[in-house]
Amino acid sequence: MAMKQPHVVIFPFPLQGHMKPLLCLAELLCHAGLHVTYVNTHQTHERLANLQALSTHFPTLHFESISDGFPDDHPRTMNLEFFITFKKSIRPHFRELLKTISLKAESNDALVPPPSCIMTDGLVTFAFDVAEELGLPILSYNVPCPRYLWTCLCLPKLIEDGQLPFQDDDMTVEITGVPGMEGLLYRQDLPGFCLVKEADHPALQFFMNETQILKRASALILDTVYELDAPFLSHMALIFPKIYTLGPLHSLLNSQIGDVSRGLASHGSLWKSDLNCMTWLDSQSSRSVIYVSFGTLVHLTRDQVIEFWYGLVNSGHPFLWVMRSDTTSGGPQIPAELESGTKERGYIVNWVSQEEVLTHKSVGGFLTHSGWNSTLESIVSGLPMICWPNLGDHHIVCRTVCQKWKIGLQLNENCDRSNIESMIRTLMGPKREEIQSSMDAVSKLARDSVAKGGSSHNNLEQLIEYIRNLRDHN
């Protein structure tokens, strides 16, 4: 019976925010009995925590790693040159791995069938060429906010309409021509590669072409709730043959495998969580703590670190702040009043299990970079947000959160301590009831979607059936 199950090869882009949701999806497919090979680069594979525990719980989940084509000491800085080179350098290694997996499956004693399809995220476009060369269907999982993907798919039209490149430096001008995003998209919300003076700029052309490649996918998988994003999903359905909304993925996994998912949540992380912070949270009053995390990619200047620190201390609220070792270059000189204020009501950690923190009874608000994974986790936990967007899809997520859904407040880009203090006091005080009411409604939509009969629950069943049919037609 196991030999008849499909075999999905999943390859995320080697960043924590891309790897985690695709690992959730891998676990969901394995829970349904499918075989999954989850592929990492050597560098990320070596850092992942306790993969053996995942393989033990999901016997059909297999891990492989390949070279990304760079020397070990390469900095792997996420710039245009890296993306272009990465796409070329890793392709032959991925092709070779797929051939090896297929050859192993042909042996008489093989326990794992040959690949039925490939599933990658939107930054792993080189896999499309490999999949088509080997005659395998490819499914694309989109990591950023779906509204961001839709905006990027519409960039050629924005160029055609003369809205890109910008004719002046006024970043408050509304962008029109992206159906479903009326009143919710402005120049300042577009990704950094749009901030160029020429339509043929290499960065704009590269990322725009990368997005267009996704149209070749057999199906598109989105980490969102259909009911939240229906207005523009109908437009995307005209481009993609099949769309499956499975969000919030981490919540869908929790609903499928129960409490055991909490114990597995930290596995597959590139950072080790500080468990002592949970004891500190236990000692705080209900809904009193502001949790602060800017994800894995955002870097702060030393001045910004100090401004946030003063804002947190001066707010008078207890705070738990995730400050990665690489958050800023060099350690800022810490004024004595910050050190004493932190000892009195703060806790700073290098990394935490965010899902656990957000669901803790003492946490009352989330100061976030507006990454899509973090936003979904906050929605499931019913926590109002203070948004400080930085890059990629953050600005579109922030505007949706603050203006469309009204479940958060936006912090000024040029943050200063008084503004940060004021925002925290507002979120945790006079605005709390109003924002919490909106959040409760959005959170219920998300939780209902992953329950039996919900849109995401049903879409997962349909996706699994679709993959099984792919196997039958191969």
Active site residues: 18, 121
Q: Is the dihedral of CA 8, 13, 18, 20 positive or negative?
A: positive
Kindly list the distances between the CA atom of residue 294 and the CA atoms of 37, 366, 387, 390, 452, in Å, as whole numbers in the listed order. Answer: 30, 10, 10, 9, 33
Cα within 13 Å of Cα(463), Cβ side: 29
| Sign of the dihedral defined by the CA atoms of residues 457, 215, 45, 48, in that order | negative
Q: Which two tokens stand for residue 25?
A: 């999806």
Angular region, 135: left φ>0, alpha ψ -120 to 50, beta rest = left
Q: How far apart are CA 468 and CA 421, in angstroms?
A: 53
CA 407, CA 410: separation in Å to the nearest integer?
Answer: 10
For residue 222, which phi and psi values (nearest 5 degrees)? -120, 135
Which residues 6+ apart lie within 8 Å of 432 measured at CB?
A: 364, 384
CA distance 134 to 436: 50
The CA dihedral of 328, 334, 337, 341, to the nearest 10 degrees, is 50
